[in-house]
Amino acid sequence: MEDCPHPSCGGVVSAAGGAGLCRECREPAGACRLCGAWNRPFAQFCRACGKRFQFGGADLGSLGAGMLDKLPREPVALEIPAEFWIAPVSFGGYLWALSTDGGLWRVNPARGEVLPLLPLGPGFGRSSFVIRFLSLPGRRNPAPCLVAASPAAVAILNLAEPSAEPLLVAPESGGRFLADLVEDGFAAVAVHEGRVFVLERRGGELAMVSHQVATGVQERCRLEASDAAGPLVIGNHVWAYNPASLLHVSGASSSALPLAEGVTPFRSLAGVHDFRFPLGSAVWLTAPDGVYLPARAADRSGFLHLSSVHESLQQHFLALDGGFSYSADAGGRLIVAGGEKLAVFEGRNKVAEMPAPSLAPTGAEHIDGQFRAWTGQVGAAIAVRFAFGDRPRNAALPQQLRTWLPIGFLIPGASLVLVVQNQHENNNLGLSVWNLFDV
Ligand SMILES: [Zn+2]
Ligand SMILES: [Zn+2]
């Protein structure tokens, strides 16, 4: 079945794994895992077999070598007229972007469409947000929800109905959530097993708030610390951290675990002049079994890799030389550029390394036993290329930018690879979305 699921279209959908893009209306579509029929990305049930439907993503691997051969293409650029600290998140075939004034934007690069949605309001867009399937109160099936925090509220917005009012969770009277990258440091909302976690300050007290979305039941766990960053989800546990310790949160009780000797994880932008941020994900990177925290030990920068092994927390410091930038892929591999090298880590193990002058990484993919890194290069123009593969490809972006932050995005379903760059003009951080692949 190749027909487009979008109303009164009937176009042909080009497939890329379990996701596709309509050649006619340029909207994404998802294939039913059971019968293969195309559905709209946020459909609840398959329109052909009636079984429950959930949009599945596509990674670079599912696009296949044929798709990679289409590079380079003339890139198509879209500008979003707002200030952004946080890079967009790819979900359901679209990019979702949150500006520093709390404006929410949905971007469809294949259509060249930038759609302003219901704004979340002041205070949002200053810490990273997540998109997860969550059970909302009174709903039978989990819905795709954008979860973002401001000091005054956590907003949970059902992306299948983005014009509906979001569900709001408020701090305790007199309190505020830690949700501002500049004022509060590395604090951001986290989601784990149907619960939303966020740090809350009230008077001199610091607490971890856990809100079960389906029932509205809330727990507050007071932390024995005046300062903390987080939350971090590691395995089945939720943690915060400060200069002295890792703070474990379980229900209403917390306990502290000392940090590996001599290791200091960064907690705010003030201490991390060596890093260029992968704006968008939190400054820490989440892997399937753990978290990479930018950190320092003695006089070396690197990452503190925290992982959960048989329910106990393991700490390993990965030392790196000089300044570097970093990113991770959907599989949680860490990719670091620095010291004229590009390296890929899986857990605490370095699994690949190559010489790479002036590159900033934007994600690595593992295809057919080989790593391909998606990188940007400083120069007269920005080049995008894959490394580690047998066939490196380059695509020059025809614009010189004073500052830049390339982020590789694979839009599931749209068969597109995008670069998002931050431009620095009049102290404004704008987003431009580059469409490099097409079907
Ligand atoms: Zn269509
Ligand atoms: Zn079906």
Q: Is the pLDDT of residue 406 over 70?
A: no
Ligand having the closest approach to the CA of 11 = 1
Ligand having the closest approach to the CA of 50 = 2
Give me ligand 2 centre to Cα 153, in Å: 38
Task: Return the pLDDT at 120.
Answer: 96
Question: For residue 230, which phi and psi values (nearest 5 degrees)?
Answer: 135, -160
97-149 confidence digits (pLDDT tens): 898 899 999 988 778 888 999 999 999 998 989 999 999 998 888 999 999 99
Give me ligand 1 centre to Cα 190, in Å: 35
Residue 46 shares a structural domain with residue 187? no
Ligand having the closest approach to the CA of 26 = 1
Looking at per-residue confidence, does 413 or 355 come out higher?
355
Ligand having the closest approach to the CA of 110 = 1
Give me ligand 2 centre to Cα 202, in Å: 49
Ligand having the closest approach to the CA of 7 = 1
Residue 8 shares a structural domain with residue 148? no
d(CA 210, CA 254): 13
To 10 degrees, the CA torsion angle through 353, 358, 363, 365?
Answer: -50
Give me ligand 1 centre to Cα 432, in Å: 25
Give me ligand 2 centre to Cα 31, in Å: 8
| Least confident segment among 90-94, 205-209, 285-289 | 285-289
Q: Is the pLDDT of residue 1 over 70?
A: no
Pairing relationship of beta strands 407-411 and 312-320 according to DSSP bridges: unpaired
- Whether the ω angle into residue 72 lies within 30 degrees of 0, i.e. cis, is yes
Give me ligand 1 centre to Cα 251, in Å: 47
Q: Is the pLDDT of residue 58 over 70?
A: no
Residue 353 shares a structural domain with residue 421? yes
| Least confident segment among 74-83, 260-269, 359-368, 387-396 | 387-396
Domain of residue 409, residue span: 57-435
Number of domains in the chain: 2
155-173 confidence digits (pLDDT tens): 999 999 988 899 999 999 9
Looking at per-residue confidence, does 333 or 227 come out higher?
227
Residue 140 shares a structural domain with residue 52? no
Q: Do residues 295 and 266 touch, judged by C-beta distance below 8 A? A: yes
Interacting residues of 132 by C-beta distance below 8 A, sequence separation 6+:
144, 145, 147, 191
Give me ligand 1 centre to Cα 22, in Å: 5
Residue 50 shares a structural domain with residue 96? no
- Mean pLDDT for 186-211 is 95
Ligand having the closest approach to the CA of 14 = 1
Residue 42 shares a structural domain with residue 77? no
- Mean pLDDT for 393-403 is 48
Give me ligand 2 centre to Cα 113, in Å: 29
Nearby residues for ligand 2 (ion, Cβ within 5 Å): 32, 34-35, 37, 46, 48-49
Residue 2 shares a structural domain with residue 63? no
Residue 172 shares a structural domain with residue 30? no
- Pick from 254, 198, 251, 250: which is nearest to 225 by CA? 254
Give me ligand 1 centre to Cα 109, in Å: 15
Name the band, by pLDDT with cuts 50, 70 and 90, for residue 336: confident
Q: What angle do CA 387, 391, 393 make, to 5 degrees?
A: 70
State the CATH number of the domain containing residue 175. 2.130.10.10
Residue 218 shares a structural domain with residue 198? yes
Residue 116 shares a structural domain with residue 38? no
Residue 296 shares a structural domain with residue 329? yes
- Mean pLDDT for 395-409 is 48
Ligand having the closest approach to the CA of 30 = 2
Task: Return the pLDDT at 132.
Answer: 92
Residue 67 shares a structural domain with residue 202? yes
Give me ligand 2 centre to Cα 98, in Å: 33
